[in-house]
């Protein structure tokens, strides 16, 4: 599972590797945080030109890992574990280097604690949303939506659905039937790029999203769906249940459920708005 770690409110993409029990971090994100460089790729090239030892071992220190890019698509990026990052940091003359080393050690310690006690991961997720300014009511719904999503994907896994591509197709089926929009179309409505769509949903949007996925799981379990095609039909049916409920609410309330409202910081909202007007 891809995660976002925060260092001084800056996002650093990371992936936990179950095989070697290590975090792998986006080298580009780390260098950007430590240097605030406008052209991170060129900065990395300059680092390697100055440090021959680092350059000769770059292929060992860094490994291509699939992570979500700024445009929302998943691509392979250069990533390194904690030890590799510390080697890279040695070549970066930045006053932020020492605090980052301490942060890196804390991230590793937190993950080991979470393995021993999974409830800590949930607590930290709540704390992170709280720090970002989300309300307690919204956080409760978001946490429930995460649980429902995990229950559904576990069912898909047990029923012969292949991860990533097929999960994305089934998710799009539910979303299209629920909201009339695929996730990518929904993100455009909200002016999002790499951000998680559900982190920018309103209470009602989350509720109907949960209803669509919970209904899909219930149909899959009760009809014993197997394989991609059967689960695709269940996904559409589950989404239609939520979609019908959404339409009824819109008729009675006179207000659309789908909204462009999001939780982006004001500076990012202005950038998004200016691009739409171009």
Residue 170 has a pLDDT of 96
In this prediction, residue 67 has a pLDDT band, given cuts at 50, 70 and 90, of confident
- Is the same domain home to 24 and 158? no
Same domain, 139 and 82: no
- Residue 95: its pLDDT value, please? 76
Q: Is the pLDDT of residue 13 over 70?
A: yes
* H-assigned helices in 117-182: 119-131, 136-158, 165-179
Question: What is the structure's pLDDT at 273?
Answer: 43
- Type and span of the H or E element at 60: helix 58-61
Residue in 144, 149, 192 with CA at minimum distance from that of residue 168? 149
Does 131 lie in the same domain as 104? no
Band of residue 277 on the pLDDT scale cut at 50, 70, 90: very low
Whole-number pLDDT of residue 84 = 86
Determine the pLDDT at residue 276.
47
Same domain? For 42 and 76 the reply is yes
Measured CA to CA, the distance from residue 137 to residue 272 in angstroms comes to 27
What percent of the chain is modeled with pLDDT above 90?
A: 49
> What's the pLDDT tens digit per position in 219-239?
999 999 999 999 999 999 999
What is the structure's pLDDT at 237? 98
Q: Which of 55, 89, 116 is the last residue of a domain?
A: 116
Angle (deg, nearest 10), helices 97-116 and 82-89: 180
CA dist 240 and 212 (Å) reads 7
Q: Judge whether residue 106 has pLDDT over 60.
A: yes
Q: How confident is the model at residue 9, as a pLDDT? A: 59
Is the pLDDT assigned to residue 63 strictly greater than 50? yes
What CA–CA distance (Å, rounded) separates 7 from 12? 7
Q: Are residues 102 and 134 in the same domain?
A: no
- Residue 62: give the domain boundaries: 2-116
Final residue of a domain: which of 116, 144, 177? Answer: 116
Mean pLDDT of the chain: 85
53 and 156 belong to one structural domain: no
Say what the pLDDT of residue 270 is. 47
Specify the number of domains making up the chain: 2
Residues 135 and 233 in one domain: yes
Question: Is 268's pLDDT higher than 70?
Answer: no
131 versus 200: which is more confidently predicted? 200
Rounded CA separation 205/188 (Å): 15
Instruction: Among 47, 82, 116, identify where a domain stops.
Output: 116
Q: Can you say how many angstroms the Cα of residue 185 is from the centroid of all Cα atoms in its chain?
A: 17
pLDDT band at 258 (very low <50, low <70, confident <90, very high): very high
pLDDT at residue 66, as a whole number? 86
pTM of the prediction?
0.61
Token couple for 144? 């429930």
pLDDT at 120: 67
Same domain for 110 and 156? no
The answer on 138 and 108 residing in a single domain is no
Q: 15: phi > 0 → left, psi -120 to 50 → alpha, else beta; which?
A: beta
Task: Say yes or no: 82 and 203 in one domain.
Answer: no
| Tens-place pLDDT, residues 180-219 | 999 999 999 999 877 889 999 999 999 999 999 999 999 9
Pick from 30-39, 166-175, 185-194, 214-223: least confident: 30-39
Residue-level pLDDT at 127: 84
pLDDT digits (tens, 9 = 90+) for 150-161: 999 999 999 999
Q: Answer yes or no: do 129 and 251 share one domain.
A: yes
Q: Are 183 and 78 within one domain?
A: no
CB-based contact 14:4 (threshold 8 Å): yes
């Amino acid at each position: 599972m891809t995660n976002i770690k925060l260092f001084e409110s800056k996002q650093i993409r990371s992936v936990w590797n179950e095989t070697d029990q290590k975090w792998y971090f986006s080298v580009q994100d780390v260098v950007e945080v430590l240097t605030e460089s406008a052209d991170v790729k060129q900065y990395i090239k300059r680092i390697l030109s100055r440090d021959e030892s680092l350059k000769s071992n770059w292929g060992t220190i860094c490994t291509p890992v699939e992570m979500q890019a700024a445009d929302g698509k998943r691509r392979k990026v250069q990533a390194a574990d904690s030890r590799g990052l510390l080697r890279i940091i040695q070549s970066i003359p930045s006053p932020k280097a020492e605090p980052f080393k301490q942060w890196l050690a804390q991230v590793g310690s937190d993950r080991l604690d979470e393995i021993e006690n999974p409830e800590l991961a949930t607590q930290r997720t709540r704390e992170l949303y709280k720090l970002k300014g989300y309300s307690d009511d919204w956080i409760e719904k978001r946490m429930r939506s995460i649980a429902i999503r995990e229950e559904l994907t576990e069912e898909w896994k047990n029923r012969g659905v292949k991860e990533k591509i097929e999960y994305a197709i089934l998710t799009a089926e539910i979303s299209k039937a629920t909201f009339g929009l695929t996730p990518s179309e929904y993100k455009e409505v909200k002016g999002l790029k790499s951000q998680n769509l559900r982190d920018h949903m309103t209470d009602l949007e989350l509720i109907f999203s949960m209803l669509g996925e919970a209904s899909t799981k219930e149909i899959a379990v009760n009809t014993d769906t197997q394989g991609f095609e059967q689960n695709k039909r269940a996904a559409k049916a589950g989404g239609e249940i939520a979609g019908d409920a959404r339409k009824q609410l819109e008729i009675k309330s006179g207000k659309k459920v789908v909204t462009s409202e999001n939780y982006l910081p004001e500076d990012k909202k202005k950038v998004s708005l200016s691009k739409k007007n171009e």
